[in-house]
Amino acid sequence: MIKANQPIEEISQPLYTYRLDLHISGANLPFRCFLRFFQRNIFTRNNWVLFTATEVSEDTSNPQYKTNIQFDYIFSVQQEIRVEAVTGEYDFIGYAEFKFANLLNAANQTLPLLLHKGTTQGNEESYVVIKCDNFSDNTDEVRLSLGANFLKSFVFKPRTYISVWKREDDQKYTSLARSDSVDSNVPMWEPVKLKMKDICKKENSRLLRVVIHQIPKMGQEKIMGHAEITYQQIFKEDVKTFQIVKFSRKDEKKVLTKEVGTLFVQQKETIYDHQFIDYLFGGLDILSAIAIDFSKIVFSEPSGTGGRGESHIRLVENSFSYIADVLAPYHLSKTVGFLGFGAQDSSEESSKSPSECFTMKGNSENNNFSSSREAIKAYRETLLQSNYKSQPKRNLTNVIKSIVAEFRKDLFFSSNLRYFTITLIIEEADEDIQELVNYLVPLSNEMPLTIFLVGIGKGSFQALECFEIYSKREYLKDSKGDILSISTLNFLNFETIGNNGGNLAKELLKIIPSRVTSYMKRNKDKPIMKQPNTVLKKNTIFDPLRNTSKEIEDANIVVTNMQPISHKTNGSQGIFDKIF
């Protein structure tokens, strides 16, 4: 193994959480009702736990709830939400349940939910509508270079600086920033840096007050005047000058002001700091494949456990089920591809090697599953395939090559909003790791990909210890001397986390947000889906997506002024349909 002469890096990453704002409304609800919100995930031990509630609505059937609801979103954990509608007298109206990931991938991040009514309620349909945004966690920055012309003439150059204040809902002002002082009759101050979330309030711009301060002597200071501006005026309406006024006096009815100069915008810039959640909102599509090792299975064994025992089969199922449920909502088809390797169909004269993948349950028509329950059923049925024969001599490098070859057939393979993951459930690893590194180094520079290897059972995984996520990992080089990115390939022995599938998914998949963000920023940080280099023809069959031209049109991403808007469709089929 060739090791790079680089510092050792510890790959174990923190669990990223994103604070999202939820905006709640209702349609055709009874008067004076409120909504209760429960969540269920591995942290609540899969029990429903109340985390917030709205206020009681006024006398309207279509309420717009004002309660500020914030939710901590975690990519690597399946988070389920239950909404219950209850009257002010605590009569149960109905409920709805959904996966939070489906809200993030909904058009405009807006999800209408049909309430399942209680037994005492009428048959008329009622809805709860949930919309989310990430404004509270927005880290974009605005930089403004401002200058001023004063009506008054000065004998000596005045020393001045500016401070920027925002007006709150209670009409009070909060300080945001101040510039360094300059000596000039026409001062042009150094740029002030402002957080976007401070100067905007959701869709509306906050009123900002720019105060000009003069320092006539050391230790003295007076206010020369102020100007009121908004982000909307400067960046949307392109207003370049603002009147500087000074309070002259107050009478009983109003405050009187007089003009003392002009504030002008010398330079303006918005620094976008896109986060993982921004790319999800912009249409990020994660195409995932999970492949299971069948190299030690005795097919058609009467017990249906492949000769490994029921406990081992349940262990395998537990290892992939949570990963599948977390990843499925992030693909257009809301599915994950499931494959097997380490076995061959003995009934066919096939040139496939044992390292190539085969479709689960012998069904080449549909190998994409929307839930772990479907995948577990297919896995069990595959164990009973009498025409399959295990092949212990399989090579992980070739298994990955086989899956990547199918990824390349993806119609949107070149899109910079497509991301790929491969998860291999393996029972042993005695590989030539240098061969694997030699293949992955150029591949990781070519396509956005993260690979996870999960060790199951008592087999030897010593060859993969250099990829273990909890270890201090050294940079590895291919035979040409190029370095493999640390988190391209990640290994975890299932026993290390107590054979807990939920914790396995949490610990492995938490790597993806930072991987996606770094990839996007290397690609100019523009969340825009590229048009496929394909001429759409009538009656064309698209391999391997098998989309209709209308579905492809619906899947395009529209981006305006770097504000990504997603138009997704649930009609797309998965990449692993009919490909083997």
Tell me if residue 318 falls in helix, strand or coil: helix
Amino acid 354: pLDDT: 59
Given a contact cutoff of 8 angstroms between Cβ atoms, the answer to whether 67 and 92 are in contact is: no
* 53-75 CB burial, b ≥16 within 10 A, e <16: bbebbeeeeebebeeebebebbb
What is the distance between the alpha carbons of residues 84 and 480, in angstroms, rounded to a whole number?
60
Tell me if residue 437 falls in helix, strand or coil: helix
Tens digits of residue pLDDT in 216-226: 887 788 999 99
By residue count, the chain amounts to 580
Tokens of 542: 């698209």
CA angle 44/50/56 to nearest 5° reads 165
90 HSE (CA, 13 A, CB side):
0
What is the distance between the alpha carbons of residues 138 and 349, in angstroms, rounded to a whole number?
57
Strand blocks (E) in 80-154: 80-87, 92-99, 110-114, 116-117, 127-133, 141-150
Amino acid 523: pLDDT: 73
CA angle 249/255/256 to nearest 5° reads 60
Amino acid 249: pLDDT: 65
Amino acid 86: pLDDT: 94
Q: Which positions of the chain have pLDDT values less than 70?
A: 1-12, 119-122, 202-204, 249-253, 347-355, 361-366, 524-580
Amino acid 555: pLDDT: 33
For residue 129, which of 113, 116, 107, 115 has the smallest C-alpha distance?
113
Read off the amino acid at residue 379: Y
Strand blocks (E) in 272-375: 285-293, 336-341, 343-345, 358-359, 368-369
For residue 19, which of 104, 106, 110, 133 has the smallest C-alpha distance?
133
Amino acid 412: pLDDT: 82
Tokens of 543: 């391999």
Is the C-alpha dihedral spanning 55, 56, 60, 61 positive or negative?
A: positive
Tens digits of residue pLDDT in 447-469: 999 999 999 988 889 889 889 99
Read off the amino acid at residue 413: F
pTM: 0.81
Other CB atoms within 10 A of residue 309 CB? 11
Tens digits of residue pLDDT in 208-260: 999 999 998 877 889 999 999 999 899 888 899 999 999 876 666 677 788 99
